[in-house]
Structure 1
Amino acid sequence: MIDRGKRSVLGVGVNVVDYDGAVERIVQAAHAGEAHAVSALAVHGVMTGALDPEHKYRLNRMDTVTPDGQPVRWALRLLHGEPLPDRVYGPHLSDLVCAKAAKEGLPIYLYGSRPEVLEGLVAKLKSRYSDLVIAGYEPSKFRQLTESEEGEMRERIAGSKAKIVLVGLGCPRQEVFVYEHSAALGIPMLAVGAAFDFFAGTLRQAPKWMQDRGLEWAFRLAVEPRRLWRRYMYLNPLYLTMLAGQRMGLLKTRLSNEREPGTNIRYG
């Protein structure tokens, strides 16, 4: 098990952790009834923090930020001499957490995505883990929640007696959601990206050879070009440029800034 704390990647603290270490952190917090905010960040996720001081503040207050993408794992080695055997990919981490939750009797709650995706996800999880208790689930409203809706949502999750919440709202909305609600609910919450769609079979995953070589972005761009072309064509080159700047010590002042968010966005 690897768990050696956080290191800065473009000013965002990323944990030097493997799957075993991340699962252990989450499960311990679930048993203890403690808040534990988790995000799995690929290049896009890191860049949302690197370019936005308020979002950087949120990310740097997460308890665990895993290197979801291979380029983020490579950055830990390049910048800090911290080699890891593999990335800690949000969908696979979610799978391992569900397996552990089933084994140790920890009910889970699923929040986000669309009703049809959630139905497929629930069916897949129940068939894979017969002992897994799904305490509840609800889809995203795909808009900002009102204050009363936010309170009702928290009451539903708390009333379900769930010990772990998996959140699939897309980056960066899911990280905002976890930041806003994990402490209030006092349980682990995981921002898991496209895990819901992958499990439900509504979105194809890249072949493993592409994932291992850091080319998952190319596969996703080919599958969803209209939605993702700006993200990858702009952010990927900028990520590499900024990494070089951090490696040479040229971006210290810029990368050290963060700013506490001024308002509750109430994503849902």
Structure 2
Amino acid sequence: MKRSIISISVNEGTREEYVSRINEDISAGIRGYCCFSNVHMLIEAYDDPAFAEVVNSARYAFPDGFPVARSFKILHGVRQERIAGMDFFPHFLGVSDARKYKVALIGSTPEILQQAKEKIADEFPGVTLTHLISPPFGQPWDNSTYIEQLNSSGTQVVFVALGCPKQEKWMYDHSSQIQAMLFGIGGALPTYVGAVGRAPAFMRNNGLEWLYRLIKEPRRMFRRYLYTNTKFLWLLLRESVK
């Protein structure tokens, strides 16, 4: 079930419930893509109706950000857990390990992909990594070749790490051609291999992960958070009054 959160429809339910449903989809050969929706994505969708269509066309859109998860209570009177892409990625690698899924990674740098390959081989030996694809930066991609590689190898799970909104648009454009379930995981790969640190658990559990990122990258994150967080709070207040 999806609930409307300002500009997008977001799935209600637990992570384990949706892992079960995704496994059923993969077993049935159902194609689709999954978004992890945070405040940044929500405001991107509010400002750009075409991008809202991209997110709302996803088979699953999970409440990644703590504020988005809390919005379920404010707008719909239901409690909703956060289903963060950073956490979902290693969790579903474990699922893929148990089920012997064939997995591909798209995005990031060749160095990060190689580190991820080595760590996955060590932690999840049941996972078959079919492809590590680092698309050329700032140049057109040969998508037809990538898609042919994924389909011919029997890949069942594709983690797409291109950042929002690029990865969501790519999945929207190509998911119907790819015989797999796609997940837009943003910056999960550098975090997974330890190249980028993540906020301590107490900050993540209390909705302060944004503050940690602001402290770490003040120049890059200040303007984004000033705009997106302020606008989100205003829109949430407006919706709650309605």
TM-score band by shorter chain is over 0.9
Instruction: Give the match's secondary structure for 1:189.
Output: strand
Instruction: Indicate whether 1:196 and 2:192 are aligned.
Output: no
Contact 1:30 1:106 in 2 (8 A): no
User: Structure 1-normalised TM-score?
Assistant: 0.87
Instruction: Indicate whether 1:137 and 2:132 are aligned.
Output: yes
Deviation, 1:145, is: 2.6
Matched residue pairs, number? 242
- Give the RMSD, CA atoms, in angstroms: 1.2
Instruction: Indicate whether 1:181 and 2:174 are aligned.
Output: yes
Letter in 2 for 1:22: Y
Structure 2 equivalent of residue 255 of structure 1: none
User: Structure 2-normalised TM-score?
Assistant: 0.96
Instruction: Indicate whether 1:236 and 2:229 are aligned.
Output: yes
Deviation, 1:114, is: 0.7
Deviation, 1:96, is: 1.7
Over the matched positions of the two proteins, sequence identity in percent amounts to 29
| Unaligned residue ranges in structure 1 (runs of 5+) | 250-268
Letter in 2 for 1:142: F
Q: Given the alignment, which residue of 192, 195, 201 partners 1:208? A: 201
Structure 1 equivalent of residue 26 of structure 2: 30
Instruction: Give the match's secondary structure for 2:51.
Output: helix
Structure 1 runs of 4+ aligned residues shifted over 4 Å read none
Letter in 1 for 2:118: A
Deviation, 1:192, is: 0.7
Instruction: Indicate whether 1:99 and 2:98 are aligned.
Output: no
Instruction: Indicate whether 1:119 and 2:110 are aligned.
Output: no
User: Following the alignment from structure 1 to structure 2, what is the Cα–Cα distance between the partners of residues 214 and 16?
Assistant: 19
User: Following the alignment from structure 2 to structure 1, what is the Cα–Cα distance between the partners of residues 135 and 50?
Assistant: 23
Q: Given the alignment, which residue of 44, 47, 60 partners 1:51? A: 47
Structure 2 equivalent of residue 165 of structure 1: 158
Structure 1 equivalent of residue 68 of structure 2: 72
Letter in 2 for 1:69: G
Deviation, 1:99, is: 0.9
Deviation, 1:118, is: 0.7
User: Following the alignment from structure 2 to structure 1, what is the Cα–Cα distance between the partners of residues 171 and 20?
Assistant: 19
| Unaligned residue ranges in structure 2 (runs of 5+) | none
Structure 1 equivalent of residue 218 of structure 2: 225
User: Following the alignment from structure 2 to structure 1, what is the Cα–Cα distance between the partners of residues 192 and 174?
Assistant: 24
Taking CA–CA contacts closer than 8 Å with sequence separation of 6 or more, which of the two structures ends up with the larger relative contact order? Answer: 1
Contact 1:140 1:169 in 2 (8 A): no
Deviation, 1:108, is: 0.5
The C-alpha deviation readout for 1:37-61, integer Å capped at 9, x for no partner, is 1011111111111111000011110
